[in-house]
Amino acid sequence: MAEEAGMFVIRQTVGSILCCKCGVPMQPNAANMCVKCLRSEVDITEGLQKHVIIRHCPECDSYLHHSNTWIKAQLESKELLTYCLGKLHFRGVRMVHAEFVWTEPHSKRIKIRVRVQKEVLHGAILEQTYVVEYVQQESMCESCSRIQANPDQWVASVQVRQHVSHRRTFFYLEQLILKHDAAVRAIKIKQMDQGIDFFFANRSHGVKFVEFVGKVAPVRSRHDKQLVSHDPKSNNYNYKYTFSVEISPICREDLICLPPKVAVSLGNLGPLVICTKVTNSIALLDPLTLRQCYLDADQYWRASFKSLLTSRQLVEYIVLDVEIISPDVNIGGSRYALAEAQVARLSDFGKNDTIFFIKTHLGHILKPGDQALGYDLYGTNSNDIELDKYKGLVLPEAILIKKSYEEKRQRKHGKPRSWKLKSLSMEVDDSRGRNDQEKMNKEYEEFLRDLEENPELRFNVSLYRNKEYQPSEMASMTDGEDVPSVPLEELLADLDISDMEDGDDYNMSE
């Protein structure tokens, strides 16, 4: 404004002075010394710890925190950084930043670059960076030492069982355990005939694991204990605790005939319903009316019932015609549309003229010519106690469960997937023979296909990129024209730790 008015303006300039030590021109500061001279005069890191010895358990990958407390931490993690900084004493200085310096994992060395500040001569603030080296001394913790001496010495055992003819539930439960590190304290995991056994060195770890399973599946549990030893002089008792956890036999895609009392409590739902989702509650859908209700674990175990038909009894149908009755609705995060369909069993197609006119909740994805999997109630001789309680109930000839992509998958048979899953380190009993292993491999392949077809199912599953997969072979996903696949944005990559340059960095601010 003053220049526009023609007035004389005195410009403010920052002058320079000579360093009182070396005479180099510099901007003035409280010490009247340049950075190099001030660094040679004052070292704020003097007296601070540069070398620290820490104790590390190689078996469980934990570190000794106090006299008898061990904390579990991975390399380059926030927990390990907090633990390492807790070993340092910053006397007279203030820490402003800390970060890891990359070292070889097998070097038994951990380096952290720490930046500290301190007020030095005449109020000048000096900021300086130095590296602290931590030397790992291998020493097993008490629980690992006990396990090493006797691998069968466990305190708590959790026996998870589900009385069904397949292991699809345990494949999904395994992924939930891996994602949440629920079995990180387990000293041994053993795969059994109808479930998995988890062994822990502490009762509290077993109790915590039982609580986790109860949050992800409808279960009922009981526990027992057995006296191992007793010291009458000190009045010490040693017990072994066993937790029995039973998962509900109701699985996703099962067809259920609700008992009359349960149907009335759910607002006269059904009685024929489909299980669409299983968490700590069971989601039930009436495919003829699109009504959905949730049955929690307590409600189920008070009046427990079994499935009328399971996914092992699905039959392939071919869709001849589809006519939408009601528009799409969103129920529990999934889309459904009620439709009338003409279907025929794929085994009868071309052999006879048997056609079924049914209602289905899959009107939003089915088109004439598609294949679908469903339950054949027309040719099934069902002997269910709950079904006999409904006098005069007219059963539909078929109930469709999901769209089938088997024909299209045959054209892509043998091609690897772009993703993979991790698995628990379990002891597997090989005495059951080769046939059981082939059955398990087939069920695992069906589980992988379910993950591809159902985005809601893989929401709580960590999928990782397959490095051996060639991107050129990757097929794009099209709506209804190709086999469903997992989008790349849902895949996780293994962490690659980049190299970080080692060196000191000095900065002075006023």
471-481 per-position pLDDT tens digit: 554 444 443 34
User: How far is the CA of 215 from the CAs of 38, 208, 219, 297, in angstroms?
Assistant: 60, 11, 9, 10
83 and 195 within one domain: no
**Domain edge (last residue) among 381, 411, 441:** 411
Residues shown for the chain: 510
**Residue recorded with tokens 């009046």:** 303
What range does the domain containing 237 cover? 154-247
pLDDT digit string, tens, across residues 9-26: 666 666 778 777 787 887
238 and 122 within one domain: no
Report the distance separating Cα 348 and Cα 383, nearest Å: 24
**Domain edge (last residue) among 247, 277, 298:** 247
Q: Give the tokens for residue 178.
A: 């891996």
Report the distance separating Cα 256 and Cα 303, nearest Å: 14
195 and 125 within one domain: no
Q: Residue 8 falls within a domain, yes or no?
A: no
Q: In the chain, how long is the greatest CA-to-CA distance? A: 107
Amino acid occupying residue 116 = V
**Domain edge (last residue) among 217, 247, 277:** 247
Q: Residue 142 falls within a domain, yes or no?
A: no
The structural domain count of the chain equals: 3
336 and 303 within one domain: yes
Q: Global pTM?
A: 0.70
Question: How confident is the prediction along the chain (510 residues), in pLDDT tens digits per residue?
Answer: 556 666 666 666 667 787 777 878 877 776 677 777 776 667 788 888 889 999 998 888 889 887 778 888 888 888 899 999 988 888 888 889 999 998 888 888 999 999 988 877 666 677 888 999 999 999 888 777 776 766 667 889 999 999 988 888 999 999 999 999 898 888 888 988 888 999 988 899 999 999 999 999 999 999 998 888 888 888 888 888 999 999 999 999 999 999 889 999 988 887 899 999 999 899 999 998 889 999 999 999 998 888 888 888 899 999 999 998 888 787 766 788 899 999 988 888 777 878 889 999 888 888 898 889 999 888 777 777 878 888 878 888 899 998 888 777 766 665 777 888 888 888 876 666 666 778 888 888 888 888 888 888 888 888 888 777 665 544 444 433 467 777 777 777 654 443 333 444 434 333
406 and 298 within one domain: yes
